[in-house]
Amino acid sequence: MSMKVKTRQVDGITILDLSGRITLGEGSVTIRDAVRDVLAKGSNKILLNLGDISYIDSSGIGELVSAFTTVKNSGGELKLLNLTKKVHDLLQITKLYTVFDVKDDEATAISSFTK
Amino acid sequence: MADSTTMRASYTLDSSLDSVNKIEQIGEQFATKAGFDEDTVPHIAMAVREAAVNAVLHGNSYDTNKHVVASFETTSDSLIIRISDQGPGLDPDKIPDPLAPENILRGSGRGIFLIKAFMDEVNFRQLHPGTELTLIKHRTPAQSGT
């Protein structure tokens, strides 16, 4: 199953609801394009909802890191929401869990962005 | 129990993402049949996928003239997966540590690290040309049916 992205806005924050797999050649390009589109439209506060991500490989992890640095370098913020246990464990193993700002509640995540 | 304790298969595939997905699926099937639990099987499948990506992408660079060979073997005490490419060769000592502060925000370079994290043994062999990765996961006596 390839990755799908749905975009919505809440209180000035762009939420990308991702579902499927973030892997080499499947989701990794999709996520890159989605973040690029959001930045091109002038928004740089992005919340990636990973609640429906069933699988992620090292390419997918790399793509999350690249998205994080791209948004940060543009002066914005990128946060992660609703990690599954698999994704949570991978971020722990790769020591990226503390790099990302990870939230498990959408309302809390929205209010945590710099106004 | 003989079927579950000794199994062997080998595949020669082209350098494509379809091959990566196929190798991952076969790895998952072998891990399941070898009796690994529901937490370990996805880890083995991911390690196999990362090794296949390494062979197809970094080894063969998607070259249609080069192939990837993946072999799977379940012995009485281990699941052994070998994946080889026909690329320029990989020196494991030159792979940057993805956990080092200067590398933590890199967009790539975590595949071999994840393979080592999820498998019990990982061995590299230079083929001239190419590299063979051997991934080993040990079975418990209960898993091997002994």
**B78-84 and B131-138 as β-strands: parallel, antiparallel, unpaired?**
antiparallel
Please count the other Cβ atoms lying within 10 Å of the Cβ belonging to residue B39: 10
Give Cβ neighbours of residue B6 (< 8 Å, ≥ 6 apart). B74, B75, B76
pLDDT tens column, A18-51: 999 999 877 778 899 999 999 999 999 999 999 9
CA distance A24 to A57: 7
Calculate how close chain A gets to B146, using CA atoms only, in Å.
31
Across residues A65-69, what is the average pLDDT? 96
What's the number of domains chain A is made of? 1
Size of interface A-B (CB pairs under 8 A): 49
Sequential pLDDT tens for chain B (146 residues): 344 568 899 999 999 999 999 999 999 999 999 999 999 999 999 999 999 999 999 999 999 999 999 999 999 999 999 999 999 998 888 999 999 999 999 999 999 999 999 999 999 999 999 999 999 999 987 777 66
> What are the start-end ranges of the E strands in chain B?
7-14, 67-74, 78-84, 121-126, 131-138
Rounded to 5 degrees, φ, ψ at B68 are -115, 135
| Residue of A24, A54, A63 to mutate, interface with B, max B Cβ within 10 Å | A24
User: B38: which chain A residues are within 8 Å (Cβ-Cβ)?
Assistant: none
What does the pLDDT read at residue B112? 97
DSSP character for B122? E
A43 part of a folded domain: yes
Residues in chain B whose Cβ is within 8 Å of chain A: 17, 20, 42, 46, 49-50, 53, 57, 98-99, 104-111, 113-114, 117
Domains of chain B: 2-144 (3.30.565.10)
For residue A92, what is the domain's CATH number? 3.30.750.24
**Is pLDDT of A112 > 60?**
yes
| Spatial CA neighbour of B131 closest among B95, B91, B98 | B91
CA distance B12 to A88: 34
A59 touches chain B (CB under 8 A): yes
Whole-model pTM: value is 0.92
Is there a contact between A62 and B46 if contact means CB atoms under 8 Å apart? Answer: no
B77 and B141 Cβ atoms separated by less than 8 Å: no
Provide the ipTM.
0.89
Q: What is the mean pLDDT of chain A?
A: 94
Is there a contact between B98 and A94 if contact means CB atoms under 8 Å apart? Answer: yes
* Residues spanned by the domain of A90: 4-108
Counting Cα atoms < 13 Å in the Cβ hemisphere of A77 gives: 16
